[in-house]
Amino acid sequence: MITKQTIDRVFETARVEEVIGEFVQLKKAGSNFKGLSPFTDEKSPSFMVSPVKQIWKDFSTGKGGNAISFLMEHEHYSYPEAIRWLAKKYNIEIEETEQTDEQKQQINERESMFLVSKFAKDYFHDVLMNTQQGRAIGLSYFKERGFREDVVEKFDLGYCKDEWDNFTKAALSKGYDLKYLKSTGLTIVKEGGAEEKKFDRFKGRVMFPIHSMSGRILGFGGRILTNDKKAAKYLNSPESDIYHKSKILYGVYQAKKEIAKQDNCFLVEGYTDVISFHQSGIENVVASSGTALTSDQIRLVHRLTNNITVLFDGDAAGIRASLRGIDLILEQGMNVKVVSFPEGEDPDSFAKSHSDVELKEYLETTAQDFINFKVSLLMKDAANDPVKKAGLIRDIVTSISKIPDAIQREVYIQECARIMDISERVLFSELAQLLKKDVTNKAKQNQSNYDQPPPEYFLEQEQAAMGVVKSPGKSSESINQLNILEKEILRILLLYGNEEVDFVNWVDGEDKQGRPIIEKEEYKNTVSNELYLNLQEDEIEFSNEVFKTVYYELIHQLNQEEKISIEQLVAHENPVISGLVTNILMDEEKYSLSDWERKEIFVTSTAKILPKLVSDAMLNLRRILIEKKISEVLNGIQTQQITPDLEEITNYTELKKLLFDKLNRVV
């Protein structure tokens, strides 16, 4: 594990504008930089980088954070990978924490397997490009398939010589351990007789390296070039500590940026389908490598986009066998479209026989909703058979039941009713039964894990952090006023907490004649102290758990260092907290994207009205809490038939009027 000292050094050294500048063209905009969003196609800049705060915000997508989070969003690195990338950029030596011998061995073994796999990738590619046998056999095959050399380079394609142990000898001569050649499956070792026999798993095959999301080599696919009927046409690396076929997609490393940019992923079956599409200018494509699609593979795509287009060969039997994959995609809450190629064609052959423009046009015009696709595929068999037609309808409703979003389910039910000419009432009844059955099954499965909060809990926490809550008994979402005010207090603390300003307090007094008057009292205080004392005096607790966490961390900083440091929160390990803080810090920078000053539109500086801002925030918070209290008392009277405490209601109402007076508002 990387030590905290190393991580701290990386955060201290890394400059967000330098890191982002390697991926986005930035232009100076006052004290900030702006540029086009790297996550969407746009013509007007909505991407802002603040060198002072060392954070960034993309106003077109709502994403934001620090240098680490940018690498995680843009390059799809894990947190440790982003740290290592920055450490390498700034020549920072990475220190690891002391680990047990078992942990060290496990990490060293995995790392050794990665190193062997990288050597194999480089070796096979070198053989393909720089040896007579490689160019004559391997490269010739790729050229016959119509692949340009730049695409061969892009995917690190290679060739393993048709010799028993050519690669194994080369690896051993370079000092690589036979243990790791064996555990990665690159070398097959057979024991017997006086000595063990070693030979290359992929001998005589062209090689397709399989990359992880961050570009590390996990395994290989190899295609035989002879007509040996006893040998498999395609051979994959065996399962290992670094290669799990069901958890990776071929081409995801080369496609990840374009998938995120296009907000769509094309899913095909084979390696050559992916490569042909890239050569035709369509880069947001990945392959399941000929295996049945898995939930892990779908989640990998879901990290990049919410939209997936499944491309099927023009083989009806193969399509039917692959339909289960659509249900798995729907279960993940993704939007699914389907493209079917003409009979006898697959994505590879179609891309080669058509121009780039024709291919793109075909994908756009023939993509259809999964319901229409299923109906067009299966209706031929069921057209004149009521039993088969009923089965088809149930099959479609079963697919719809996999969709998590209730509104989307209803829209699809209406579409299904229209296409199949059946009443919505019947379809909704069938859907309700399926959903009830699904809930029962999940309840049984989760019985042993009753203490774990459901995934919805974490989504609700994030929504709550953004000031959105679901009204009881309603599907629509409404803005929670209390959340808005709590977020406003956090905004003031984060942006101006260390500022010292003149505050005004109004106290009861008497004039010379002894008549009661309200006197003005001025005093200096920091914004953070003023807010803290007011919240303490009224014993106010934040209702939002995320806001409460941020508030307590800020108060802890004040107690320890007597000032607020936002860097710790921007770099917080909890992405909900770091995202919330970044959004608050960058919201005030939004207007600078529009060059308001150049258009002679001037905004009052918040710093000039800080005392009123603090005062209004606290008065409004008290007002909402009092209104909530009055509502609770009245609800108690109505629902529980409690005798009303008129004095209590009167007191709360008087307090409310007083607060409105101070806010210069009319009750």
∠412-413-418 over CA atoms, to 5°?
95
Shared domain check, 331 and 267: yes
553 burial type by CB count under 10 A (0-12 exposed, 13-18 middle, 19+ buried): middle
* Residue 60 pLDDT: 84
Contact 636, 642 (CB under 8 A): yes
* Residue 459 pLDDT: 39
Specify the residue for token string 């035709």.
280
Shared domain check, 80 and 8: yes
Shared domain check, 274 and 378: yes
Indicate whether 640 belongs to any domain: yes
Residue 302 backbone phi and psi in degrees, to 5: -65, -25
Shared domain check, 47 and 84: yes
Shared domain check, 114 and 53: no
Helices (H) and strands (E) in the chain, counts: 29, 20
Indicate whether 459 belongs to any domain: no
Written as six digits, the tokens of 385 are 């058979």
Distance CA 58, CA 461 (A): 22
User: Could you tell me the mean pLDDT of each successive run of 10 residues in the chain, 667 residues long?
Assistant: 85 90 85 85 84 87 87 81 89 76 69 93 97 96 95 97 95 95 95 80 96 90 89 92 92 90 91 96 91 87 88 75 84 91 92 95 93 80 81 90 88 90 90 84 56 40 41 43 85 86 75 74 83 79 84 81 78 77 79 57 60 82 76 66 61 60 51
| pLDDT tens track for 364-387 | 999 999 888 888 777 777 767 888
| Total count of domains within the chain | 4
CATH code (residue 385):
3.40.1360.10
Please give the DSSP secondary-structure letter assigned to residue 155.
T
Element spanning 266, H or E: strand 265-268
Indicate whether 100 belongs to any domain: no
* Residue 591 pLDDT: 59
Shared domain check, 232 and 258: no
Coil, strand, or helix at residue 247?
helix
| pLDDT tens track for 89-121 | 999 988 877 656 666 666 678 889 999 999 999
Distance CA 132, CA 127 (A): 8
Crossing angle between the packed helical segments 324-331 and 295-302, to the nearest 10 degrees? 50
Q: Which of 30, 59, 89 is the last residue of a domain?
A: 89
How does DSSP assign 302-313, residue by residue? HTT-SEEEEEEE
Task: Report which of 487, 495, 598 is spatially closest to residue 544, judged by C-alpha positions.
Answer: 487
Beta strands of 498-549 (E only): which ranges? 500-510, 516-526
Written as six digits, the tokens of 383 are 């057209």
* Residue 539 pLDDT: 73
Written as six digits, the tokens of 169 are 């000898």
Specify the residue for token string 């009052």.
604
Written as six digits, the tokens of 395 are 């099959």
Q: Are strands 307-314 and 335-343 parallel, antiparallel or unpaired?
A: parallel
| pTM to 2 decimal places | 0.65
Indicate whether 561 belongs to any domain: yes
Distance CA 359, CA 70 (A): 33
Q: What is the largest CA-CA distance in the chain?
A: 118
Shared domain check, 364 and 429: yes
Contact 336, 312 (CB under 8 A): no
Please write down the long-range contacts of 320-326, taking CB distance under 8 Å and 24 or more positions apart: 320/377, 322/292, 322/293, 323/374, 324/292, 324/293, 325/288, 325/292, 325/293, 326/370, 326/399
Contact 491, 584 (CB under 8 A): yes
Shared domain check, 13 and 137: no
Shared domain check, 137 and 73: no
CATH code (residue 19):
3.90.580.10
Indicate whether 583 belongs to any domain: no
* Residue 297 pLDDT: 92
Indicate whether 450 belongs to any domain: no
Contact 577, 546 (CB under 8 A): yes
Task: Report which of 212, 217, 158, 232 is spatially closest to residue 184, judged by C-alpha positions.
Answer: 217
Please give the DSSP secondary-structure letter assigned to residue 92.
P
Exposure string (b/e) for 5-18, b if CB count within 10 Å is 16 or more?
ebbebbbeebebbe
Q: What's the 3-state SS for 439-466?
A: HHHHHHHCHHHCCCCCHHHHHHHHHHHC
Task: Report which of 57, 96, 58 is spatially closest to residue 80, judged by C-alpha positions.
Answer: 96
Residue range of the domain that includes 333: 252-444
Shared domain check, 364 and 411: yes
Torsion angle (degrees, nearest 10) of CA 552, 557, 562, 568:
-130
Coil, strand, or helix at residue 632?
helix
Shared domain check, 189 and 71: no
Helices (H), 323-422: 324-331, 347-353, 356-366, 370-382, 386-401, 406-420
* Residue 75 pLDDT: 78
Shared domain check, 346 and 269: yes
* Residue 124 pLDDT: 98
* Residue 311 pLDDT: 94
